[in-house]
Amino acid sequence: MSKEKVLLVRPPRLLWPWVNESDNFLLPLGLPCIAAALRENLPHLEMKIIECPPLKIGWKSLRDILIRERPTIVGAGEEALYHHEAVKLFKLAKEINPETITIAGGHFFSWMVEHTLNNFPVDFIVRFEGERTVVELIDAISNKADFANIKGIAYKKDGRIIKNPLRPLIEDLDTLPLPALDLMPMGKYAPFGYLWPQSVTLEHSRGCVDRCNFCSLWTFWGKQTKTDIENKELEVMPRYRTKSVDRTLEEVDIVYKRYNRRFILWADPTFNLDPKWTDEFCEKLLRRDYRDLYWWAFVRVDCLLRDERLGILEKMVRAGLVHPLVGVERGCTEDLRKIKKSAYTPESIKEVFLIFKNKYPQVFRQGTFVTCLPFDTRESMLNLVDYAKEIDMDFPAFHPIAPAPGTYLYQEAKENNLLEEEDFARYDWSTPVLRSYTGLSRSDFAKLNTQLHKRYMLYRPHWLIRGLFSPYKHKRRLYWWFFINSISVLLLEIFDTIMGNKRKPQHITGFRRLRKTKWYDK
C-alpha cells in the first residue's frame, strides 16, 4: 500500500460584483464532508484542505503550495459557473508533476463526463453524492487495485471512457461523519459580511420532491436512471432524505459553541418539507435558548401555509428564522406549470407574503423569480414586477435563467438551439444566455431584466424608507445592503452615460461581470 497525500482544493475565483468580498465566499459544504469521510475511513491518509478564496490565496501562491506539499492526489468539485477554475487547478497540478492524480466532482463534472475526460487533465470523476465513492476510489489508488467495481466513478482506460454504474444514494445521512470543519478556516467566512455576517453553511437534508425544470439540485441529489446528457439522455426521479433532528442539532451546537457562529445559511433545497422534522427541530432549538442565533433558509409556499396552520411557522420565527427565501419564480399559474413548479399557485404565494407581513414583520420577505425563459415575451417579463409589487415583498430577486447541465431546461435549450452563450466560463448567473421562442435575443432580455429591478426599487420610495428605518435590526441591515448596491449600480450607469461608454449586452443587466480581486493572480 502506498501512502497517498491528498489536497482538496477550492481554487481562486472571481467575485460576484454586487456582493462584497466578505459575503462572496461562504463555506462550501462539499469539502469538509468529503474530508470527514476520508479521515474516518482511511486514517493513514495525509490530507489537507486548501480553501483559497477566504484565505486570499491566488494562483501564484497556490502553485507554491502544490510544489511544497507535493500531493499525489488533487481533488476539486465545482458547479458550472466555476468549473474552469477547477480545470486550471488540474492543469497546474499536472504541470508541476504529471504523475499527480486529479479527481473532479460536483455538479458540472458529474454530468459532463465525456466533455471533461476528453478535454481536461482529469483522471477520475466522482459522480454525484461522493462521500463513499471517493473513499473507495482513493483506497483503490493506494492499493493499486482495479477500478472496475467502484460504483459512481468515470475515467479513461486505454483511451476509452469508462462510466461505472452509479452508486445508490446514502439512505441514512446520520451514518455520515460530522463535516470536518476543523480543517476549514472558520474564522475567515464573512468576517465583515453585511449580507451574511459571521455566517456558516449547514444542511439537514438532500434532494427535493419537486421537478422544477431549471433546477439542478433535485437532479443532482435524486435517483438518476439516465445521465448521458451529452447524448440528450436525462431521466431522474426526485428523492428527499434528511438527517435526524438530533444529528442536525449536534452540528448546530458545534458551529454555535466551538466556532462562535451566529448566522446559519441552510443549504437545503427545501428546508421545511417535513413538518414533523421542522417542528421537532424548532422545539429542541428553542430549549437551547440560543437567543442570538439567526438563520436563512429556502422555503416552499405550500409548506409554509401548512406550517402556519399547524403552528410551526411561529416556532420557526421564534427559533431564529429571519430571512426566508421563497421561490416565487413566476406570477401566473400557466408559467408555473411550464417550468414544472406544480406545488402552489400565485394566490397561495400572495397568502404567504401577507402572513409574513402581518404576523411576522421582523422577517425579511424575499422572493426569487426566474426570468428570460424561452417562452417569455416583453409583457410576461414586465408582469413579474407588477406581481412582486402586488404581494409586497421586501426584495424581489429577478434572476435571468442560465440553465446548467443536469437540468431539463438545459436539455430543452440545447435541443432547440436557444443557447446564445455556451461557454460556461462566461456565465455569471446575472446575464441572460438564452434567446426566446418569441424572438427576443439575450440583449433584449438583459434590457428587460434591468427594467424589472428599476421599476421595483426606484419608483417606490415609501417601500425603501420603510425598510431603511425598520425597527428590526436584521431587516434594516438588509435594506441598507440592497440600497447601497442599487446606488452603486445607478452611479455606474450615470458615469457610463457621462463618459459616453457603450455598455456591451452582457453588462446591461445593471451589474458588471465577475470581477478579479487584487489577490487572484498573486
* DSSP-derived 3-state class of residue 300: coil
Average of pLDDT values for 246-257? 97
Distance CA 337, CA 440 (A): 21
Q: Which pLDDT value is given to residue 443?
A: 85
Better-scored residue on pLDDT, 431 or 242: 242
Contact (CB, 8 A) for 12 and 59: yes
Q: Which pLDDT value is given to residue 411?
A: 92
Better-scored residue on pLDDT, 516 or 242: 242
Q: Which pLDDT value is given to residue 493?
A: 59
What are the cell numbers at 320?
A: 431564529
Average of pLDDT values for 167-196? 87
Q: What mean pLDDT, rounded, does the chain reach?
A: 89
E strand spans, 176-320: 199-202, 205-207, 223-226, 235-237, 240-242, 263-266, 294-299
Q: Which pLDDT value is given to residue 18?
A: 60
The residues near 154 (Cβ < 8 Å, ≥ 6 apart) are 113, 117, 124, 125, 127, 161, 162, 163, 164
Distance CA 463, CA 482 (A): 12
Q: Which range among 191-205, 217-231, 309-323 has the greatest average pLDDT?
A: 309-323
Please write the tens of the pLDDT for every residue from 135-162: 999 999 999 999 999 999 999 999 999 9
Q: Which pLDDT value is given to residue 198?
A: 76
Instruction: Give yes or no on whether 5-163 and 178-499 have one common fold.
Output: no
Count Cβ atoms below 10 Å from residue 185 Cβ, excluding itself. Answer: 13
What are the cell numbers at 57?
A: 490565496
Distance CA 491, CA 512 (A): 13
DSSP of 447-497: HHHHHHHHHHHTT-HHHHHHHHT-SSHHHHHHHHHHHHHHHHHHHHHHHHH
Determine what percent of the chain is predicted with pLDDT higher than 70: 91
Distance CA 191, CA 22 (A): 6
Q: Which pLDDT value is given to residue 510?
A: 45
Please write the tens of the pLDDT for every residue from 101-140: 999 999 999 999 999 999 999 999 999 999 999 999 999 9
Q: Which pLDDT value is given to residue 496?
A: 56
E strand spans, 123-185: 124-126, 153-157, 160-163
Average of pLDDT values for 274-281? 98
Q: Which pLDDT value is given to residue 508?
A: 41
Distance CA 495, CA 467 (A): 27
Superfamily grouping for domain 178-499: tm_1862 like domain (3.80.30.20)
| Residue 318 predicted with pLDDT over 80 | yes
In CATH, the number for domain 5-163 is 3.40.50.280
What's phi and psi for 187, nearest 5 deg?
-80, -5
Measured torsion, CA atoms of residues 223, 169, 268, 175, in degrees rounded to the nearest 10: 170
**Hey, which residues does 323 pair with through a beta bridge?**
296
Residue whose C-alpha is closest to residue 456's, from 396, 381, 510: 396
Phi-psi region for residue 11, left (φ > 0), alpha (ψ -120 to 50) or beta? beta
H or E element at residue 133: helix 131-142
The residues near 448 (Cβ < 8 Å, ≥ 6 apart) are 371, 372, 378, 381, 382, 440
| Residue 268 predicted with pLDDT over 50 | yes
DSSP state of 229: G
| Residue 176 predicted with pLDDT over 70 | yes
Q: Positive or negative CA dihedral for 212, 217, 219, 221?
A: negative
| Residue 193 predicted with pLDDT over 70 | no
Please write the tens of the pLDDT for every residue from 480-517: 887 777 776 666 655 655 655 544 444 444 444 667 88
Q: Which pLDDT value is given to residue 229?
A: 74
Listed by start position, the domains of the chain span 5-163, 178-499
Q: Which pLDDT value is given to residue 15?
A: 76
Please write the tens of the pLDDT for every residue from 374-420: 999 999 999 999 999 999 899 898 989 989 999 999 999 999 998 88
Kindly report the pTM of this predicted structure.
0.92
Residue whose C-alpha is closest to residue 56's, from 93, 91, 15, 6: 15
Q: Which pLDDT value is given to residue 506?
A: 40
Please write the tens of the pLDDT for every residue from 413-466: 999 998 888 888 888 777 888 888 888 888 888 889 888 888 887 767 788 888
Distance CA 127, CA 219 (A): 12
Please write the tens of the pLDDT for every residue from 17-43: 666 666 667 889 999 999 999 999 999
Q: Which pLDDT value is given to residue 421?
A: 83
| Residue 192 predicted with pLDDT over 60 | no
